[in-house]
């Protein structure tokens, strides 16, 4: 189990004033030096935070795993193949949303992914992960496509309004992780995770590989420093390993 830090919101802060700082690439360096195993970024179609040039600079700088989150557009397929990250994570994307709001609807995207998207990576060493909710059908369709990994959407768990709902969501995530592992896929997780809800997740859900954390980590770093905050998240995960 390893921490991958999503540095999108460092770019959000930079872009708020149109300045060159804070630099998400410098943030990525600090995160890795503090113990993160890699970096996640989402190059959105509207470029609201990460910019195309950031992506190439991250590729040159990041020493660990680089996870390129993206919508499955022809433009993103082209850029991701040129950048050659360790992993691309395909996500749904809507211009109106503040952040990714749920997993892919696998029945809707299945034929397009089978016929256009997955073949585009056939001549590369780039792994493919699909951001999905912990539903049996979606996980089975991901495996049928030959996906290397799935990223379980943890947002519903993170935002559960009460303990009963939280435990129900943890069970769904646990069952989803077991199924994905049985079907031969790596299991990643992310969305809405923070210092309070990370520990129950990693202690309950088996077979977790990459844990992607961004907004909560960057928010905590404003008060405690980026280096110290990364170390706190890594410690929780190491204690569960």
Residues forming the active site: 42, 69, 191
Q: How far apart are the first and last CA of the chain?
A: 7
Kindly give the residue spans of alpha helices, DSSP state H, lying in 35-113: 52-61, 74-83, 106-112
Q: Which helix H or strand E contains 232, and what residues bound it?
A: helix 226-240
The residue among 43, 34, 47, 46 whose CA lies nearest residue 4 is 34
Cα distance between residue 127 and residue 176, in whole Å: 20
SS3 content of the chain, % helix, strand, coil (to 5): 50, 15, 35
**Residue 17 CB neighbour total at 10 angstroms:** 8
The residue among 120, 5, 124 whose CA lies nearest residue 58 is 5
**Is the omega angle on the peptide bond into residue 22 within 30 degrees of 0, that is, cis?**
yes
């Amino acid at each position: 189990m390893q921490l991958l830090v999503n540095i999108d919101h460092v770019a959000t802060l930079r872009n708020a004033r149109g300045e060159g700082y804070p630099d998400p690439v410098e943030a990525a360096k600090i995160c890795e030096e503090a113990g993160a195993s890699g970096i996640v970024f989402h190059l959105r179609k509207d470029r609201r935070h990460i910019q195309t040039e950031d992506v190439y600079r991250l590729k040159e700088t990041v020493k660990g795993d680089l996870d390129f989150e993206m919508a499955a557009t022809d433009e993103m397929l082209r850029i991701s193949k040129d950048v050659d990250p360790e992993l691309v994570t395909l996500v749904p994307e809507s211009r109106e949303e503040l952040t990714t709001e749920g997993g892919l609807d696998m029945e809707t995207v299945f034929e397009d992914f089978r016929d256009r998207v997955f073949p585009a990576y056939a001549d590369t060493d780039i792994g493919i992960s699909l951001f999905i909710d912990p539903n049996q059908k979606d996980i089975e369709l991901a495996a049928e496509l030959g996906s290397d990994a799935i990223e379980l959407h943890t947002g519903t768990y993170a935002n559960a309004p009460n303990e009963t709902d939280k435990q129900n969501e943890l069970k769904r995530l646990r069952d989803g992780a077991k199924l994905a592992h049985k079907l031969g896929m790596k299991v990643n997780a992310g969305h809405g995770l923070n210092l309070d809800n990370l520990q129950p997740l990693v202690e309950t859900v088996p077979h977790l590989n990459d844990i992607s954390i961004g907004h909560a980590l960057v928010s905590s770093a404003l008060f405690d420093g980026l280096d110290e905050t990364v170390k706190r998240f890594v410690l929780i995960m190491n204690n569960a390993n």
